[in-house]
Amino acid sequence: MQNSKKTGVILSRLAGTLAVILIVSAIVTVTSRQAMATPKMAQQTGQPCTKCHTAPPALNGYGQKYKDSLKK
């Protein structure tokens, strides 16, 4: 009888964990956006992507200044 209680508790926790994993996976899948970054600017400037980006697509300070200079 003791083993069946332990097995039931383990299965219950496993089911809960799997449910959480499925819910988180669904949220990530539904809310994710496709990256729009391309290496075009790096090819045009001859610089690596890391010159303007630390965590693409976000720009670092240098990248923001470069982007702002293109608008003028």
Helix ranges (H only) for 1-72 are 2-31, 40-45, 61-71
pTM comes to 0.43
The mean pLDDT value for 51-70 works out to: 89
- Supply 68's token pair: 């702002």
28 plus 43 within the same structural domain: no
The mean pLDDT value for 45-61 works out to: 88
41 plus 28 within the same structural domain: no
Q: Indicate whether 57 pLDDT > 90.
A: no
Query: What confidence tens digit (pLDDT) does each residue in 16-44 have?
Result: 999 999 999 998 888 876 655 568 888 88
**What pLDDT band is residue 1 in, cutting at 50, 70 and 90?**
low
Of the listed ranges 9-18, 24-33, 60-69, the one predicted with least confidence:
24-33
Domain count, the chain: 2
70 plus 42 within the same structural domain: yes
Distances in whole angstroms, Cα of residue 35 to Cα of each of 38, 41, 63: 9, 15, 17
